Amino acid sequence: MTFSDLPAGLANALAERGYEAPTPVQAAVLDPDLRERDLIVSAQTGSGKTVAFGLAFSAQILGSDGQVQSTGKPGALVIAPTRELALQVSRELTWLYQNSKARVVSCVGGMNPSQERRELKSGATIVVGTPGRLRDHLERGTLDLSELAAVVLDEADEMLDMGFREELEEILDAAPETRRTLLFSATMPRPMEALARRYQRDALRIATGGGERGHNDIAYQAVTVAPSEIENAVINLLRFHEADTAILFCATRENVRHLHATLQERGFSAVALSGEHSQSERNQALQALRDRRASVCVATDVAARGLDLPNLSLVIHVEIPRDAETLQHRSGRTGRAGKKGTAVIVVPFPRRRRVESMLRNARINAEWIDAPDREAILAMDRERLLKTLLMPVEVDETDRKLAERLLNERTPQELAAMLIQAHRAKMPEPEELLINSPEAQAAARKERQRPGFDDVVWFRMDIGRQQKADPRWLLPLLCRRGHISRNQIGAIRIGPRVTHFQIPRAAADKFADALGRTAGDENGGDVHIELSPDAPQDSTRPSRNNGPSAGRKKGASYAKKPHKDRPANSPERNGVPGKKPKPRKPKKRPV
């Protein structure tokens, strides 16, 4: 079946959007013999499955004239796991049915429920929503499923993984038994099979795209870097590719905040997307990407499913995905609808074996490369600049007069040089990276050793990342407390709850004496600082790398001493500022 065999309203909508022929999954569900049958469909992300199930249930909601026979009650229901996916599906179905007089209403968490109730009361042909919000409307009586003809569960396996089984069962139990049920799922775990057996009748399994888990239109690359160079490598990757739209995936909200702030400081037009943002903030971020007011999105895995951004050609896994399935869904945001895309995994040296195993299990062939250096980025900049400047342009009379005036005051060579400089000034500067091997990295650190830091003493303080420790305010604090300058502070290693730092041995006594005098004062005097009994292990997130990661010499006279102004049982001495240690309860002995 082709698009020309569809009702005129649907065929015209597809033609306006540039659809010429159905994709494999669309052709499969449009088989005339399957018009009334329940289906279980497995298809690759980006294969056009939203349009596929939108066309699949057209037979249930359109009359013989290709128009909706409106009754005021929903004829089709689409359930999606996340707000972003539900809103994306709603937008797709809106343009698909715009010529068929169908009214699409979305019901998702984070939006105004009163407005949704008014829209449902006004009449809806297709309802798209998340399980929790749909159940809420169902229990309040604002969602009437009595005339429902088709139900679609999009990313059904993901909804079960997220714990929505009860909500799905309540919604499906409320729908008429004569409805048509379509399950779209990437995998078929046992809970999925149980759900299909209970709520489908003689369902046909359709699998398209072959057995390859990696997407054919995505070029996978793995970039090995030193753990301390992850952010610099990400910046260079963004500069090297200069993608119209790129998504950077992090594991936690905190890391999204940190990387988003870093990119904005470096001059990138970036937005953030994570679970801590409201629905309004998420919508604004996505709209900024669609309008090209922003080109980079830093996100957690909440954005890994369902998002379809135009011109998205680059995905960077800043933090390694937890499994092959997450890798696939993250990467699947690019390389969609026949367009090419690139997915780059940033791999710290110690994690290379784990990533190699993940890629083997996913049957993905990734190219292992070095992060682009400054020279490679500048070479790409020159090629892009030449291509841009040599493109034909239309010049009006005002611009022509201005060009003639400039030529009278400057030579063509000077004008060309000024144009190049103006173009480069808009671009963030590339970062200098360490040589890309563990041995070379260690040698480079040794060569960069600052004078005076060949013999150091490690100190520690009782704050870390959990207390939002940052070198920007740690350095002034140490200078005030220890009566030293910034140049006398070496490497700083920020851990979860403790921060270690280096002081040259020649200044260590003076620094320790000053700490005793400034303890208890304002402006950081309540932060406990003491000698560290051991050098810290090499951190994966060093905040300042001014010297080598060297510890005290064997036999040094420094010893760990309790601070004279802090008793041994003070809360600061126990590693948690401002909290007293909880007394241990005696264990009850059995009688």
Higher pLDDT, 187 or 465: 465
Strands 76-79 and 126-129: parallel
For residue 58, is pLDDT > 60?
Answer: yes
Q: Tokens representing 547? A: 């010297």
Q: What is the pLDDT of residue 448?
A: 52
Separation of alpha carbons 60 and 581, rounded Å: 65
Output the CA angle 287-314-317, nearest 5 degrees: 100
Q: What is the pLDDT of residue 523?
A: 62
Identify the bridge partners of residue 500 per DSSP, sorted by sequence position.
460, 493
E strands in 238-377: 245-249, 270-273, 296-299, 312-317, 341-348, 367-370
Q: Tokens representing 402? A: 């201005």
Q: Tokens representing 149? A: 């003809």
Angle between helices 49-56 and 83-96 (to 10 degrees): 60
Lowest-pLDDT range of 21-30, 274-283, 571-580: 571-580
Q: Decide if 104 contacts 75 (C-beta within 8 A).
A: no
Phi-psi region of 132 (alpha: psi -120 to 50; beta: other; left: phi over 0): alpha
Strands 104-107 and 542-544: unpaired
DSSP-H helix ranges across 363-500? 374-389, 397-409, 412-425, 438-447, 471-482
pLDDT (mean) for 90-104:
91
Strands 126-129 and 529-531: unpaired
Q: What is the pLDDT of residue 77?
A: 96
Instruction: Tell me the pLDDT of the chain averaged across its residues.
Output: 81
255 residue type, one letter: N
Q: List pLDDT tens digits, range 539-568.
A: 434 444 443 333 333 333 333 334 444 444
Give the helix/strand (H/E) hosting 531: strand 529-531
Q: List pLDDT tens digits, range 203-239.
A: 899 887 544 444 567 899 999 998 888 999 999 999 9
pLDDT interval class at 328 (50, 70, 90): confident
Q: Please count the other Cβ atoms lying within 10 Å of the Cβ belonging to residue 305.
A: 22
Q: List pLDDT tens digits, range 486-515.
A: 888 888 888 888 898 989 988 888 999 888
Using CA atoms of 28, 31, 36, 37 in order, give the dihedral in degrees to the nearest 10: -40
Q: Please report, rounded to a whole number, the percentage of residues in the chain having pLDDT higher than 70.
A: 82
Strands 341-348 and 218-225: parallel
Strands 499-504 and 456-461: antiparallel
Q: Please report, rounded to a whole number, the percentage of residues in the chain having pLDDT higher than 90.
A: 28
Instruction: Domain 3-207: give its CATH architecture.
Output: 3-Layer(aba) Sandwich (3.40)
pTM of whole model > 0.85?
no
First vs last C-alpha separation in the chain: 79
Lowest-pLDDT range of 223-237, 295-309, 340-354: 295-309
Strands 204-207 and 39-42: parallel
Q: What is the pLDDT of residue 409?
A: 85
pLDDT (mean) for 56-64:
89
Q: Decide if 281 contacts 272 (C-beta within 8 A).
A: no
Separation of alpha carbons 78 and 132, rounded Å: 13
Higher pLDDT, 227 or 76: 76
DSSP state of 310: T
Separation of alpha carbons 97 and 23, rounded Å: 19
Lowest-pLDDT range of 319-333, 386-400, 408-422, 572-586: 572-586
Do 3-207 and 449-574 come out as alike in CATH topology?
no
DSSP state of 454: S
Superfamily, domain 218-373: P-loop containing nucleotide triphosphate hydrolases (3.40.50.300)
pLDDT (mean) for 518-526:
71
Q: Which one of 1-15, 86-100, 269-283 scores highest in mean pLDDT? A: 86-100
Separation of alpha carbons 411 and 549, rounded Å: 54
Spans of all domains in the chain: 3-207, 218-373, 449-574
Q: What is the pLDDT of residue 419?
A: 79
3-class SS string, 35-92: CCCCEEEECCCCCCHHHHHHHHCHHHHECCCCCECCCCCCCEEEECCCHHHHHHHHHH
Separation of alpha carbons 424 and 421, rounded Å: 5
DSSP state of 208: -
CATH of domain 449-574: 3.30.70.330
Q: What is the pLDDT of residue 440?
A: 55
pLDDT interval class at 413 (50, 70, 90): confident
Spell out the residues 6+ positions from residue 492 whose beta carbon is closer than 8 angstroms to its own.
471, 474, 475, 499, 500, 501, 502, 542, 543, 544
Q: What is the pLDDT of residue 266?
A: 87
Q: What is the pLDDT of residue 170?
A: 94
Separation of alpha carbons 363 and 467, rounded Å: 41
